[in-house]
Amino acid sequence: MKEITFKNKSSTLIYRDYLNRLKKNLKHSSAKDRKNILMEFNSHIFEGIQRYEHTGVNETENLMEVLNKLGDPQDVLKPMIAEKKLEEATRTFNPIHVFKALVLNITNGVKYIFFAFLYLVLIGFLFVIGAKISNPKEVGLYFKDGGFYLLGKMKPQLMESINAKEVLGNWFIPFFLLLTILLYIIVTFLMRITARRK
């Protein structure tokens, strides 16, 4: 990208600082998006300066006025970045992208709080699998009188004394693994659908 040249050194510094703030806010965007947005803002700054140059106004003041009207990079870019991240996350199914998208969008509405909660449940399932691996004798899904009683840890003696039953046995890990995957796909699909509708 061709940078704008200024006569005045402080103008150059202010301009560079603005570009750097843009770049900082664009670091999670793709190289192509980053280049496009930078070029467009650069063009805007150039055009803005041109408009007032002939009036004999001070170069630095002119630049500052243009940047001021353009707005703070973080405020201006946030909605665009949050949306892009969400689109990317739901397209790739990458958990790290999904997590970043949720963090960026959490202030954008109740539905993202709901999604974040579902992901928390998902992490809970993974935790349960980990617990089963480290303590296979006591961790399980317990039923009592034909209904759900406890998902967690129970001493075998207690289980017998209250007449509860562990129902999954060796299927415990495959079952929760499958549940985790299923929930993950469902939640990500839901996010994709609601993101498109916006």
Residues near another protein (CB under 8 A): 2, 4, 37, 39-44, 46-48, 69-73, 75-77, 79-80, 83
Q: In angstroms, what is the minimal distance from the CB of 83 to another protein?
A: 8
Q: In angstroms, what is the minimal distance from the CB of 79 to another protein?
A: 5
Which is nearer to another protein, 46 or 99 (by Cβ)?
46
Q: In angstroms, what is the minimal distance from the CB of 22 to another protein?
A: 10
Do residues 183 and 117 touch, judged by C-beta distance below 8 A? no
Which is nearer to another protein, 65 or 138 (by Cβ)?
65
* CA separation for the pair 55, 62 (Å, rounded): 10
Taking only Cα atoms into account, the Rg of the chain, rounded to an integer number of angstroms, comes to 27
Do residues 4 and 62 touch, judged by C-beta distance below 8 A? no
Which is nearer to another protein, 120 or 197 (by Cβ)?
197
**160 CB contacts (<8 Å, ≥6 apart)?**
none
Which is nearer to another protein, 63 or 141 (by Cβ)?
63
Q: In angstroms, what is the minimal distance from the CB of 52 to another protein?
A: 12
Helices (H) and strands (E) in the chain, counts: 8, 3
Output the DSSP codes for 138-151: TEEEEEETTEEEEE
